[in-house]
Copies of this chain bind each other. A is one copy, B any other.
Amino acid sequence: MSEISDILNLRYALDTLFLLLSGALVMWMAAGFSMLEAGLVRSKNTTEILTKNIVLYAIACIMFMLVGYSMMYPTNPVNSWWPGFGAMIGAEHDVANILGQSAESWYDGSYYAHAADFFFQVVFVATAMSIVSGAVAERMKLWPFFVFAIVLTGFIYPLQGYWKWGGGFLHAAGFQDFAGSGVVHLAGASAALAGVLLLGPRSGKYTRKGIQPITGANMPLAALGTFILWLGWLGFNGGSQLAVSTVENANAVAAVFVNTNAAAAGGVIAALLAARLFLGKADLTMVLNGAIAGLVAITAGPDTPSALLACMIGAVGGALVVASVVSLDRIKIDDPVGAISAHGVVGIWGLLAVPLSNTTASLSIQLLGIVCIGGFVFLSSLLVWAVIKAAVGIRVSEDEEYDGLDIHECGVEAYPEFTKSS
C-alpha cells in the first residue's frame, strides 16, 4: 500500500468518524425535543408526549431503514421528482450495504462508510417527525399519531428529501438547503400544520373571553431541551458538510459551528427584546423559541455568511418567531410549543436568507423549493391525517382531554406526587 493510499484511508476513517459523531449529536436532539415538549405541556399530558417522542424516534429509524433511505437515495430513480418504488425493496445500494451489510464490502472508493452516511441521515428523519409531536400535543390520540409517523418517515419525508439531497429536480434547479431548513424543518412544520388544522385547538384555549394562556408545567425541562437542541444542532449543521478531512472541509465545518452558534445567540437576544417590547416581560418560552428560531434560520446556509451576518439572520428568526406565535394564536391555530412558527415560518425565512451570502443561490429558486416542499408535505400530510381521522379518529374524547392523556393512553402519571389530582 503506497503512502498516497495510506492518506486516503486515513481520510476515509476521519470522515467516517466525523459523520458518526455528528449523527450522535443529532440523535441527541431527540432528547431535546422530548424535554422541550414535556416542559411546555401540562403535567397531565407529559407521559404521553414523552412516549410519543421516544416511539416516533424508533419508528423513524426502522422505517428509514426499511424503506426511506433507499427511496431518498435511489440507485435507479424513475425521474427527477419520483424516486421509484423499485428502489425500495431490492436496490444493491440498500440491501448490500445497509440491511445486509458486511464491513468488508463497504469500501468502494467513496470517502466514508455507507453505514455512517445512513446513521447520519436516519437521525434527521426523526428530527422532522419530532416537530409534529409538539404541535399536536395535549389532544391527539397516541396510536393514530404513530400511524402518521410511519407514513411520514417512510414515505413523505424521503420523497421530498430525494428532490434535493437525493439529486432530484430541486437539486438540479439549484435550490440551496445546506442542512435542511426546508427538507427537515419546513417539512416537519408543514406536516404539523396539516394535523393541527384537522385536530382543532385544545379545549379552553380560545374562549368567548379571548385567548387563554395554557402554561407549561416544567420550565427547567423546556430550557434543558433547548440547550440539548443547541448542542445537537452543531452536529446537525456541521455534519452536513459531510467531510472534514481536508483543509477546505475543516474550514467549512469550523465556519458552520461558529455561524450556527452565532445565529442561535442572535435569536435569543432578538426574541428577548421582542418579548420585552411587545409582551412586557422577559418571557422565557419566547427566549427558548428564539434560540430554536435562530438555529432553524441559519440551517439553510450556515457555510457562507460571516459570523456577524449569521447572528443577524438568527436575530430576524428570533423576532419572527415571537410575531408568528402571537399571530397564529390570533387566527386560532393552536400549537402548544410554537413548533409551526419556529420550524415552519422561520424555516422559510432561512431559505430566503441564503442568497444574502451564497452567490449560487437565487431567490426565485428558493421560493420554488419552499412551495414544492411546503406544498407537497402539507397536502400529502393533510390527506394522510384525513384518512386516519375518517378511519379511527385522531382526537381524544373531551373527558380524556380533561383528565389528561397520561392516564388514558399510558396508564402512568408523569408526576404522581406533585400535582393535586394525585
Contact = CB atoms under 8 A, between A and B. Distances in A.
Q: How many A residues touch the partner, as a band?
A: 35 or more
Interface in A29-87: 30-31, 34-35, 38-39, 42-43, 46-47, 50-51, 53-55, 57-59, 61-62, 65-66
B409 A282 contact: yes
A101 interface: yes
Q: Give chain A's interface secondary structure class.
A: helix
Given A115-B251, A283-B411, A34 B272 contact: no
Nearest to A146: B272
Interface string A113-155: 1111011001000000000000000000011000000000000
A214 B174 CA distance: 58
A31 B218 contact: no
Interface in A224-264: 224, 226-228, 230-231, 234-235, 238, 244-255, 257-258, 261-262, 264
A3 interface: yes
A7 B3 contact: yes
A179 to B, nearest CB: 15
Interface stretch (A164-172, A303-311, A366-374, A386-394): A303-311
A223 to B, nearest CB: 4
Contacts of A282: 51, 55, 142-143, 409-411
A416 interface: yes
Contact of A118 (B46, B235, B258, B285): B258
A98 B142 contact: no
A277 interface: no
B115 A258 contact: yes
A12 B247 CA distance: 7
A205 to B, nearest CB: 16
A106 interface: yes
Given A10-B245, A216-B416, 9 more contacts: A34-B223, A34-B224, A53-B223, A99-B307, A103-B252, A115-B254, A115-B255, A142-B282, A281-B412
